[in-house]
């Protein structure tokens, strides 16, 4: 479904991704790990079509077609959704009105139906109806923002859900609900590309069901099975990189 080949990406003429290869099939679950600054968010934002991240080389296919020339809205309509690492505040725009509009446009349902769906799913992620009348992310804590990102994923039900650190800054209980909801979406057919620093969010998953990609200096340098997460957590990236000769 998603095929990334030799992807090079620059921001303000500075090259950040230097030849990324990655494939995600329908309904699959992939994890991306890597040190701070290795380019994980850059990859996520590039897939979602951020205008400042310029692809200078390589291919980016979704369902067999190049999406390089598509804007972020067109990619969303094709079924790609990014849950941001740092979701921005949008002053004056109420969550409920925003989500209603999104569902009306993306799924073609009517506003009243959208409203009910939003309130119901919001409850599952511990949002009260009052919260939905607040402005998008304004004054929300880090953990609340992550739950709001997931709420959007639950409502939109994308084909490919890219999650950029949905678990950072999140308390234990929120983490457990977030990880369960991700699995739920995945079981229902959404392919997941999950960026994380910790194995905890993957605790309930059978390591045999997902792949782990390790990023370093703008490249994916290793791909392993799910059990590799534990090894990374135990030994750290440096030791692993030294051993595999990934340090060049």
Residues making contact with ligand ATP (CB under 6 A): 11-12, 14, 16, 34, 36-42, 52, 85
Under the binding rule (CB under 8 A), the answer on residue 166 touching other proteins is: no
The binding track of 121-150 with respect to other proteins, each residue x by CB under 8 A or -, is --------------x---------------
**Encoded tokens for 174:** 């929120």
> With respect to other proteins, which residue has the nearer C-beta, 156 or 221?
156
Number of residues that bind other proteins (CB under 8 A): 29
Contact 66, 59 (CB under 8 A): yes
The binding track of 182-221 with respect to other proteins, each residue x by CB under 8 A or -, is ----------------------------------------
**Encoded tokens for 200:** 């905890």
129 Cβ contact list (under 8 Å, min separation 6): 119, 122
How many CA atoms does the CB half-sphere of 42 hold within 13 Å?
28
Q: Look-up: residue for tokens 């769906």?
A: 117
245 — phi, psi (to 5°)? 75, 20
Task: State the Cα–Cα distance between residues 75 and 79, nearest whole angstrom.
Answer: 7
Helix (H, G, I), strand (E, B) or coil at 85: coil
Which among ligand ATP, Mg ion, other proteins, none contacts residue 90 (Cβ within 5 to 8 A by kind)? other proteins
> With respect to ligand ATP, which residue has the nearer C-beta, 46 or 152?
46
Which among Mg ion, other proteins, ligand ATP, none contacts residue 38 (Cβ within 5 to 8 A by kind)? ligand ATP
Q: State the first-to-last Cα distance of the chain, in angstroms, to the nearest integer.
A: 31
Which among Mg ion, other proteins, ligand ATP, none contacts residue 199 (Cβ within 5 to 8 A by kind)? none
Contact 172, 200 (CB under 8 A): no
Helix (H, G, I), strand (E, B) or coil at 111: helix
The binding track of 99-118 with respect to other proteins, each residue x by CB under 8 A or -, is --xx--xx------------
Task: State the Cα–Cα distance between residues 31 and 42, nearest whole angstrom.
Answer: 15
Which among Mg ion, ligand ATP, other proteins, none contacts residue 87 (Cβ within 5 to 8 A by kind)? other proteins
Smallest Cα–Cα separation from 87: which of 158, 139, 146? 146
Which among ligand ATP, Mg ion, other proteins, none contacts residue 72 (Cβ within 5 to 8 A by kind)? other proteins
Judged by the rule CB under 5 A, the positions of this chain that interact with Mg ion are 40-41, 85
Binding site for other proteins (CB under 8 A): 48-52, 71-73, 75-77, 81-82, 84, 87-93, 98, 101-102, 105-106, 135, 152, 156
């Amino acid at each position: 479904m998603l095929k990334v080949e030799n992807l090079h990406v620059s921001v303000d003429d500075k090259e950040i991704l230097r030849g990324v290869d990655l494939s995600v099939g329908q309904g699959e679950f992939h994890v991306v790990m890597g040190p701070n600054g290795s380019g994980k968010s850059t990859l996520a934002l590039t897939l979602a079509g951020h205008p400042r991240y310029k692809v200078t080389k390589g291919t980016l296919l979704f369902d067999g077609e190049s999406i390089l020339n598509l804007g972020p809205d067109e990619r969303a309509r094709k079924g790609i959704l990014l849950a941001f690492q740092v979701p921005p505040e949008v002053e004056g725009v109420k969550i409920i009105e925003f989500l209603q509009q999104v569902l009306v446009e993306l799924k073609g349902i009517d506003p009243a139906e959208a409203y009910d769906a939003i309130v119901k799913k919001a409850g599952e992620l511990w949002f009260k109806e009052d919260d939905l009348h607040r402005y998008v992310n304004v004054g929300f804590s880090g953990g609340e923002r992550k739950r709001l990102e997931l709420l959007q994923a639950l409502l939109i039900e994308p084909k490919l859900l890219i999650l950029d650190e949905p678990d950072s800054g999140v308390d234990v209980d929120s983490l457990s609900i977030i990880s369960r909801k991700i699995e739920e979406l995945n079981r229902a057919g959404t392919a997941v590309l999950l960026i994380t620093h910790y194995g905890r969010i993957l605790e309930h998953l059978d390591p045999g069901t997902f792949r782990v990609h390790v990023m370093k200096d703008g490249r994916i340098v290793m791909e392993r099975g799910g059990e590799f997460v534990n090894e990374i957590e135990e030994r750290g990236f440096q030791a692993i990189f030294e051993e595999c000769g990934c340090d060049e």
